Amino acid sequence: MASHSSGPHLSVRSVLSLGGLLLVLTLVTVLVSFVDLGKLNFFVAALVAICKATIVLYFFMNLRHDSRDNAVIFLTSLVFLTIFFVLTSVDVFFRGDVKVKGAFFQAVASVTKKPWIKTPELVAHGKEQYAIQCAMCHGAVGAGNGPAAAALVPPPRDFTKPDGWKNGRKATMVFKTLKDGLAGSAMASYATLPEDDRWALAHYIISLGSEPPADTAEDFAVIGIDPNKEGSTVIKEPKITIRQAMALLQTSSSGGRLYTGSAEGQYGQLCASCHGDKGQGGIKVGQYGLYAVTKPFDRAMTEDAIIASIRGTAHRVTTLSQEELTALARFVQNAAKR
């Protein structure tokens, strides 16, 4: 243990040379950052930072002459920081599918009761199912070139190309193919899969190529489904996975289009999850751990003010046309007055 009254623990010359060394290391880390070394950039930066930190701790903060207790005390904080980081990472990256529910996701869960309506979460679910059920033959990205494809005559369909689809390229028709299979090919019936999984697959497979024409009433008649009735038998609980919830939050905050149609429908898709089905508010919404509670609609707001708000920074809904915006604003105004 150094006696602190027995003169300085660092000479002026050593302070200056250590300072010079720290500045050289700073120069090194800045210069290296301009060279693209891929992942190595991070490790070089971390290594230089640790070297600099060690110099500061060891010499400027005099840990080299300090009692061992103080070194242990300080290093303990770094140990706890590491534990904090490792446990949090394990939780975040290996959490698996925890289901969430709540008013915010009610709308999604009820849409899923009509699984023929494409939603981001159905597509996401379809992608997972695709990897298990289809990728072996149809390939990882749907180009019809999976590991088992070479053995098949006729070859598996290339989902990225629009032509040649035997039943037609629509969600309903892919659903039909999954139900019945395709005679004269290796495509068997997948009717044993739950209906929701088949719809999810249909939406995902269609999403691999360009946007197809919409399903008509006749298409639904062919597969024997009334699109106006709720059809799902599997998703009963209004719960969705965290991953789906995050995807949904992102889509709705960046103004992604989920629904086209009447102002009421648009309200239901874009607004109701946060503002309530009748605009009553009182729903906790947020992102990145920052939350706010919505207020009931303001009766005094003019149509222009509502449109400005829909397009404004809080919503950023940029995909609606002027007509759609006006219709939606009128709908909101009426909801506020009721």
Q: Which is nearer to other proteins, 17 or 302 (CB)?
A: 17
Interatomic CA distance for residues 259 and 266, integer angstroms: 6
Task: List the one residue from 38, 65, 68, 73 that touches other proteins (CB under 8 A).
Answer: 73
Q: Confirm or reject binding of residue 131 to other proteins (CB under 8 A).
A: no
Helices 171-180 and 195-207 cross at an angle (nearest 10°) of 130
Task: List the one residue from 35, 77, 153, 321 that touches other proteins (CB under 8 A).
Answer: 77
Q: Confirm or reject binding of residue 313 to other proteins (CB under 8 A).
A: yes
Interatomic CA distance for residues 7 and 129, integer angstroms: 73
Task: List the one residue from 35, 38, 68, 92 that touches other proteins (CB under 8 A).
Answer: 92
Measured from the CB of residue 16, what is the shortest distance to other proteins in angstroms? 7
**Pairing state of beta strands 99-101 and 239-241?**
antiparallel
162 preceded by a cis bond (ω within 30 of 0): no
Interatomic CA distance for residues 118 and 124, integer angstroms: 11
Q: Which of residues 3-32 bind other proteins (CB under 8 A)?
A: 3-5, 7-12, 15-16, 18-19, 22-23, 26, 29-30
Cβ-contact 144, 266 below 8 angstroms: no
Q: Which is nearer to other proteins, 70 or 260 (CB)?
A: 70
* Per-residue tokens: 21: 């060394």
Task: List the one residue from 210, 250, 319, 334 that touches other proteins (CB under 8 A).
Answer: 250
SS3 state of residue 239: strand
Neighbours of 271 (CB within 10 A): 23
Task: List the one residue from 64, 65, 67, 99 that touches other proteins (CB under 8 A).
Answer: 67
Task: List the one residue from 64, 65, 74, 132 that touches other proteins (CB under 8 A).
Answer: 74
Question: Contacts with other proteins: how many residues (CB under 8 A)?
Answer: 58
Q: Which is nearer to other proteins, 26 or 160 (CB)?
A: 26
Measured from the CB of residue 10, what is the shortest distance to other proteins in angstroms? 6
Cβ-contact 279, 296 below 8 angstroms: yes
The radius of gyration of the chain's CA atoms, rounded to the nearest angstrom, is 30
Measured from the CB of residue 196, what is the shortest distance to other proteins in angstroms? 27
Please enumerate in sequence order all residues whose Cβ is within 8 A of that of 298, keeping only pairs 6 or more positions apart, or say none.
336
Q: Which is nearer to other proteins, 66 or 180 (CB)?
A: 66
Dihedrals phi, psi of 239, to nearest 5 degrees: -125, 145
Q: Confirm or reject binding of residue 141 to other proteins (CB under 8 A).
A: no
Q: Confirm or reject binding of residue 253 to other proteins (CB under 8 A).
A: yes
Q: Confirm or reject binding of residue 90 to other proteins (CB under 8 A).
A: no
Cβ-contact 109, 238 below 8 angstroms: yes
Interatomic CA distance for residues 125 and 135, integer angstroms: 14
Cβ-contact 119, 108 below 8 angstroms: yes
> 43: buried, middle or exposed (CB in 10 Å: 19+, 13-18, 0-12)?
exposed
Task: List the one residue from 65, 70, 98, 233 that touches other proteins (CB under 8 A).
Answer: 70
Task: List the one residue from 65, 84, 95, 264 that touches other proteins (CB under 8 A).
Answer: 84
Q: Confirm or reject binding of residue 287 to other proteins (CB under 8 A).
A: yes
Question: Where along the sequence are the contacts to other proteins (CB under 8 A)?
Answer: 1, 3-5, 7-12, 15-16, 18-19, 22-23, 26, 29-30, 33, 41-42, 45-46, 48-49, 52-53, 56-57, 59-61, 66-67, 69-70, 73-74, 76-78, 80-81, 84-85, 88-89, 92-93, 250, 253-254, 287-288, 290, 313-314
